[in-house]
Structure 1
Amino acid sequence: MGETTGPRLRADARRNRERLLAEARAAFLAHGTEASLEEIAACAGVGIGTLYRHFPTRQALLEALLRERFDALAATGRDLLGGRRPPEAALRVWVLALVEMSTTYRGLTAVLVDTLRDDASDLHASCVAMRDAGAALLTAAQRAGAVRSDLAALDVLTLVSAVAWAHERTPDGARERLDRLLDIVFTGLAAPPVTRSS
């Protein structure tokens, strides 16, 4: 009998983790990133102590839910960098993917901005990989002369975060408004035309 206790407990722990992630996903979708952890635990049928054993912080819980999305966004950046699209178009595709990912849960845009500044955060490494992918696309667009050379990746991420914040608060997340805001951003990012002396 003692031989089956360990594996059964491990299976129970896996099921608890899966239930917690499923309930957290639903709670964050319904209530944003500040959803009650106590309610998440209760809906998963476990105590708050069990939640904290699996996810010591809210950031750790978010990281577990978002790691795959961040990794996918970093991979998308690498694919776009080696693809056939013009560099500015590749950057725009990636920026749109970033906005869509950033608005998965209400409040996530602010979490991402704070996380990039906090290297002790559970989400920091994933955010840095994602940021680096965007930075490489920005550099390619700058080298092609399509984007202003005086911009840093943080400048672009700040602008994109503002667009994501606005999009998050748009009723039904109207795509037309998002496209218009991105058009405005990319007009501002564009390199000035080269003037030729007569």
Structure 2
Amino acid sequence: MRADARKNRDHLLAVAGTAITEEGVDVSLRDIARRADVGLATLLRHFPTREALLEALLHTSFDELTAQAAELETSSAPQDALVSWLRDCVGWTTEYRGVTVLMAAAIEDTESALHASCVTLRAAGARLLARAQAAGVARTDLDGTDLFALIAALAWLGDQPSLAPRADHLFDVVASAILTNPASTHTGRTPPRARS
């Protein structure tokens, strides 16, 4: 890709990230193009669909969360690794309003531009969960799909203005329900605050 094309693409992604953070994933592509001071055709030349735009925007975050899971597998106790990663996933999903709905749909749709990234992310969480289960510190009646659904549910709570003040407490409740040793749910980190 030429340098000027890369610069234009990066600009579109930066503008899209801001727009989605402020208005959610349903923000119109026309509005993103207007904010970026380009025509809709220019945006669609780089990103022919909303999912293609979201995949490009979210790909780095998916990769970072997947890499973090791998690092936690070797650097932290199983229960602490699982809760830390779960906390960061929930915090990340609340940055982009509505992204969990798209992720839940994409994981079942092999044609979705987000499918591969979502499957990889779910697998990373499943490995952390399986490690905690093997160590006897997590419930054995959960799997990676359940964990993925819990991330979506916790992120949804953070998106609800009336429930957002309870999001941190409810995260701890859910983490306690996952672990067989609930004393380990608080890792000394402050969970991310939901947007106001």
TM-score by length of structure 2 reads: 0.85
Aligned residues of 1:102 and 1:108 also touching (Cα < 8 A): yes
The 5 A counterparts of 1:52-63 are 52-63=44-55
Equivalent position SS for 1:119 = coil
Give me the whole-angstrom Cα distance separating, in 1, the residues matched to 2:163 and 2:38: 34
What amino acid does structure 1 have at the position aligned with 2:17?
R
* CA offsets 1:140-185 (integer angstroms, 9 cap, x no match): 01001111112111112112211110012246954xx333112211
Deviation at 1:57, TM superposition (A): 0.8
Match of 1:112 in 2: 103
Aligned residues of 1:149 and 1:191 also touching (Cα < 8 A): no
Match of 2:167 in 1: 178
Unaligned runs of 5+ in 2: 182-196
Match of 1:89 in 2: 80
The correspondence for 1:27, drawn from 6, 19, 30, is 19
Aligned-residue identity in percent:
45
The correspondence for 2:38, drawn from 29, 46, 67, is 46
Give me the whole-angstrom Cα distance separating, in 2, the residues matched to 1:43 and 1:172: 31
Match of 2:61 in 1: 69
* CA offsets 1:118-143 (integer angstroms, 9 cap, x no match): 11111111111111110000000100
Match of 1:140 in 2: 131
The correspondence for 2:121, drawn from 113, 124, 130, is 130
Give me the whole-angstrom Cα distance separating, in 2, the residues matched to 1:65 and 1:81: 26
Q: CA RMSD in A?
A: 2.0
Please state if 1:121 is matched with 2:112.
yes
Aligned residues of 1:16 and 1:46 also touching (Cα < 8 A): no
Aligned residues of 2:19 and 2:27 also touching (Cα < 8 A): yes
Aligned residues of 2:157 and 2:164 also touching (Cα < 8 A): no
Aligned residues: 181
Deviation at 1:191, TM superposition (A): 3.6
Give me the whole-angstrom Cα distance separating, in 1, the residues matched to 2:7 and 2:84: 37
What amino acid does structure 1 have at the position aligned with 2:86?
V
Match of 2:189 in 1: none
